[in-house]
Amino acid sequence: MSSHPIYLDCHATTPIDERVLNAMIPYFTEKFGNAASISHIYGWESEAAVKQSRDILATAINANPEEIIFTSGATEANNLAIKGVAEAYFAKGQHIVTVATEHKAILEPCEYLKSMGFEIMVLPVNQDGLIDLEQLEKALRHDTILVSVMAANNEIGVLQPLDKIGKMCRQKGIIFHTDAAQAIGKIPLDVEALNIDLMSLTAHKVYGPKGIGTLYVRRRNPRIKLAAQQHGGGHERGMRSGTLYTPQIVGFGKAVEIALAEQEPENQRLTELRERLWKQLSTVEDIYINGHPQKRLAGNLNISLEGVDGAALSLALQPMVAVSSGSACSSNNVAPSYVLTALGHPEKLAYASVRFGIGRFNTVEEIDKVAEHFITTVKSLRSASVVIL
């Protein structure tokens, strides 16, 4: 029996699916060629494998294979999208719009551009985590070159209305980028129907390997220009130079292929597990769901509690369950989640929160064990707090 805690942190990363690993292994050993080496069979094998995965990923989002640019992950894809647009469209405008609850891989590149003279407008969200579409429309100007809004939030799982945002941007001739790292394989994504021009994806949120991602870059209607952020060889249509990591690319394709094939029944199963968990946790007094209760990823449950110390709660849960708390540690400084404070939560409530990321390999038995442990832990912490007072 494993001594490891029950893993419920699938928004941080997911375990690699054995089917994905098996697809990757040959490309570490006998099929190790460089996909750019087109003069012998080793290169041909890798080139064919890369093409197959590119086709799978393109089909998954209703794109063309040549619009898929491989990167080291969603962070690089986000940087390439934001900085690439800023540099390529500098003459048109320097106004960029994004949202307060975006991942740091969006907000920090925007902060960098701000230091370079760009005007960055960071829109707030409503209490449910959704953006105000009227507010977005008012924010758009003649010199707005880019709008970046994530598809599914990495903390609260909220699904933004990509269709309405995309339509608004297309009508105004503004490039629309979405960070869909948490969304691929979990919700339908169609770049044509949603009028998406740039989309960042990653494999490790969908039971694939770490270290591989993609940026979808629209080629027509309209054709999107990007300034490369990495040079040296002209790979990936000149947008991202570097030898392609064939095993990772194969794993990415296989992971998405599996996720799409199982998407509907898996979402139903995850929703049932989430609701089962919440039904038990909701018996605790002064507990709240963060984010929209329905418009969220099936496996996401983010909650906050009153009367509980956040650090103590996180520490007490660890032996039984691996989850993310509502605090982030950086340089030994503990701070409440900026996503939760953006919802309007007081700092103390944002700090005492837990994100449950339920995944493919979790069971009903695990959910019940976690619920029981959580309830017992909260009661114990609150009792201890009362005694101290």
Shared domain check, 104 and 24 = yes
Give residue-wise pLDDT tens across range 313-338: 888 998 899 999 865 544 455 678 99
The residue count for the chain: 389
Give the domain CATH number at 223.
3.40.640.10
Shared domain check, 267 and 253 = no
Give residue-wise pLDDT tens across range 175-223: 999 999 999 999 999 999 999 999 999 999 999 999 999 999 999 999 9
To 10 degrees, the CA torsion angle through 300, 358, 356, 313?
170
Shared domain check, 222 and 338 = no
- How many whole angstroms separate alpha carbon 143 and alpha carbon 25? 49
Could you tell me the sign of the dihedral formed by the alpha carbons of 321, 325, 330, 331, in that order? negative
Both tokens of residue 314?
């996180």
The whole-number average pLDDT for the span 17-23 is: 98
Shared domain check, 207 and 356 = no
Judge whether 153 and 100 are in contact, CB under 8 Å: no
Residue 369 has pLDDT above 90, yes or no: yes
Helices (H), 334-363: 338-342, 347-351
The whole-number average pLDDT for the span 1-21 is: 91
Instruction: Grade residue 383 by pLDDT with cuts at 50, 70 and 90.
Output: confident
Distance of CA 22 to the CA centre of its chain: 25
Please name every residue paired with 305 in a beta bridge, in sequence order, or none if there are none: 287
DSSP state of 296: B
Shared domain check, 43 and 72 = yes
Burial classification of residue 357, based on how many CB atoms lie within 10 Å of its CB (0-12 exposed, 13-18 middle, 19 or more buried): buried
pLDDT of residue 315: 87
Q: Which residue range forms the structural domain that includes residue 363?
A: 6-12+263-388
Q: Residues with catalytic annotation? A: 329
3-state class (DSSP) for residue 366: helix
| Residue after which a domain boundary falls, among 232, 257, 282 | 257
Give residue-wise pLDDT tens across range 134-146: 999 999 999 999 9
Average confidence score pLDDT of the chain: 94
Both tokens of residue 3?
């001594």
Q: Which residue bears the tokens 């370079």?
A: 116
| Residue after which a domain boundary falls, among 203, 231, 257 | 257
Instruction: Grade residue 270 by pLDDT with cuts at 50, 70 and 90.
Output: very high
The whole-number average pLDDT for the span 259-275 is: 98
Shared domain check, 267 and 183 = no
Instruction: Grade residue 388 by pLDDT with cuts at 50, 70 and 90.
Output: very low
Residue 286 has pLDDT above 90, yes or no: yes
**pTM of the full predicted structure?**
0.95
pLDDT of residue 230: 87
The whole-number average pLDDT for the span 269-281 is: 98
Other C-beta atoms lying within 10 Å of the C-beta of residue 221 = 9
The whole-number average pLDDT for the span 239-263 is: 96
Domain count, the chain: 2
Strand stretches in the chain, DSSP E: 6-7, 68-71, 95-99, 119-123, 144-148, 175-179, 198-202, 213-217, 287-289, 300-305, 321-322, 324-325, 327-330, 333-336, 353-357
pLDDT of residue 330: 45
